[in-house]
Amino acid sequence: MEPEDEQSNSMMEEICSNGGEESARTRPIISGEQLDVEAYASLYQGRTKITRLMFIADHCDIASMQLEALRMAYDEIKKGENTQLFREVVKKIDGRLGPNYAMDEAWCDSVDRRAEQRKEKLENELNAYRTNLIKESIRMGYNDFGDFYYAHGALGDAFKSYVRTRDYCTTSKHIIHMCMSAILVSIEMGQFTHVTSYVSKAEQTPEALEPVTIAKLRCAAGLAHLEARKYKLAARKFLEVGPDLGNSYNEVIAAQDVATYGGLCALASFDRAELKSKVIDNVNFRNFLELVPEVRELINDFYSSRYASCLDYLGNLKANLLLDIHLHDHVETLYDQIRNKALIQYTHPFVSVDLHMMANAFKTSVAGIEKELEALITDNQIQARIDSHNKILYARHADQRNATFQRVLQTGSEFDQDVRAMLLRANLLKHEYNVRAARKL
């Protein structure tokens, strides 16, 4: 390799040492062990705990993990009142967990019967409130209906009930409560356009929001941007989540998820300067990263150009990330973007790069690295050309002298146009060739 200046030498040595040969600084790499379903489920509560367990059961090809997830989902559902979800889980278990996890018709009938009685009572109360025209009582009545529908899995009806409270909100706290309820149900339904809308409504309330509420809203906004594949916006929202969040929003997201989602989105979308200032030097986000050491080390390795170690962490995390209900659709895209950024960052300081050394650093073949570089060059992300015979990448650095002259000429041309325009306007005004607007009566 031929570095452009002497300052590149130390960086080059570090990059080269990270190839196929053993690095001078060894560190433990996380093992590719299967997900601990019980520990994972303990991070969440409520409906999201059940849906995440069922998602694992549907997307995991390890039978023991599937059954463990279904067993825990069955036990969790029995604590609530959602008979529809209970029937789904029993159908998925299909008798594989023995008689203790079979269909419990008596429990379903009992829950459904109590639900009918509860619904009738809520309807009578709401009708009475409407007759009396007491706004606060009507608001509470619709809220109770929303809670009832949510507990029984009727998410569409729950959303409608929560939204109806809006006309009866009299304080900012009422509006925030309505928005948070609507956001919760919208996330469960996968309606992330509603999430964005109600996050904006909550942020526009006249009174100052509590730090915990702000943290929750940023998490919700981050999930909405992630779903829309706006990874840079998602990263910014997750990075802004304050330490007040703690475990207060585990009916939607855990603190570990904030670190994982925010870290991966930042790696895929931030440039080197942003990664340093907004992630590595971010004191608040560092607290979240401490909960997920693998992601913390991954980010530090990427920034320090230790690509082999970085790719090891990514490889070991991948299987478990594919079982995440929010992240699974984005894993391949994020991984591709992170790898492409690593390739660009690797080639940036050098005039020429030996593809054999680069292939070692990225743990792939020379043919494989050549193909990846071809795609990046074609996409205009790397300004370079490849000598396929000698297996060397030659950078095409911009002619700074020529670029400076071009900018000066462009600035001069724009200045000339502006002066001519001002002179023309001055002459028009001097000779009264301007058209005056007619006076309005």
Q: Which residue has the tokens 């585990």?
A: 250
**Bridge partner residues of 387 (DSSP):** 392
Distance CA 259, CA 245 (A): 12
Sign of CA dihedral 421, 425, 428, 431: negative
User: Is-contact 126 161, C-beta < 8 A?
Assistant: no
Q: What are phi and psi of 117, to 5 degrees?
A: -65, -45
User: Is-contact 202 179, C-beta < 8 A?
Assistant: yes
Q: Is residue 187 packed enough to be buried (19+ CB in 10 Å), middle (13-18) or exposed (0-12)?
A: buried
The candidate with the shortest Cα–Cα distance to 361, out of 17, 27, 24, 26, is 17
Distance CA 117, CA 128 (A): 17
Distance CA 393, CA 412 (A): 38
Sign of CA dihedral 65, 70, 71, 75: positive
- Angle (CA) 272-276-281 rounded to 5° is 170
Residues 6+ away with beta carbon under 8 Å from 212:
244, 245, 248
Q: What are phi and psi of 32, to 5 degrees?
A: -85, 40
C-alpha dist (Å) from residue 152 to 46, 83, 85, 115, 119: 12, 7, 9, 8, 11
The candidate with the shortest Cα–Cα distance to 40, out of 260, 217, 227, is 260
Q: Which residue has the tokens 């999430």?
A: 195
Distance CA 77, CA 83 (A): 8
pLDDT of residue 14: 43
- Angle (CA) 179-214-162 rounded to 5° is 10
- Angle (CA) 310-313-319 rounded to 5° is 140
Residues 6+ away with beta carbon under 8 Å from 272:
303, 345
Q: Which amino acid is at 229?
A: R
User: Is-contact 15 307, C-beta < 8 A?
Assistant: yes
Q: In a structure prediction context, what are the per-residue pLDDT tens digits for the chain, which is 441 residues long?
A: 444 444 444 444 444 434 443 333 333 333 335 778 888 888 998 889 999 999 998 888 888 888 899 999 999 998 888 888 898 898 888 888 888 888 888 889 998 899 999 988 988 888 888 887 778 888 888 888 899 999 888 899 999 999 988 888 888 888 999 999 999 999 998 889 999 999 999 888 878 788 899 999 999 999 999 999 999 999 999 999 888 888 888 899 998 999 999 999 999 998 888 888 888 988 888 888 898 888 899 899 888 888 888 888 888 888 888 888 998 889 999 998 888 888 887 777 677 777 888 877 777 778 888 788 877 787 777 777 777 777 787 776 555 677 788 889 999 999 999 999 999 988 888 887 776 655 544
Predicted TM-score (pTM) of this structure: 0.76
pLDDT of residue 59: 87
Distance CA 52, CA 30 (A): 23
**Bridge partner residues of 3 (DSSP):** 350
Distance CA 237, CA 225 (A): 9
First to last CA, the chain: 78
Distance CA 237, CA 256 (A): 15
Q: Which amino acid is at 134?
A: I
pLDDT of residue 60: 84
pLDDT of residue 400: 65
Distance CA 250, CA 45 (A): 6
Residue 354 belongs to what H/E stretch? strand 352-354
For the record, the structure tokens of 313 come out as 């962490």
pLDDT of residue 437: 52
Q: Which residue has the tokens 């509590």?
A: 210
Radius of gyration of the chain (CA): 29
The candidate with the shortest Cα–Cα distance to 313, out of 332, 333, 330, 293, is 293
Distance CA 172, CA 167 (A): 13
Distance CA 298, CA 339 (A): 12
Distance CA 167, CA 142 (A): 11
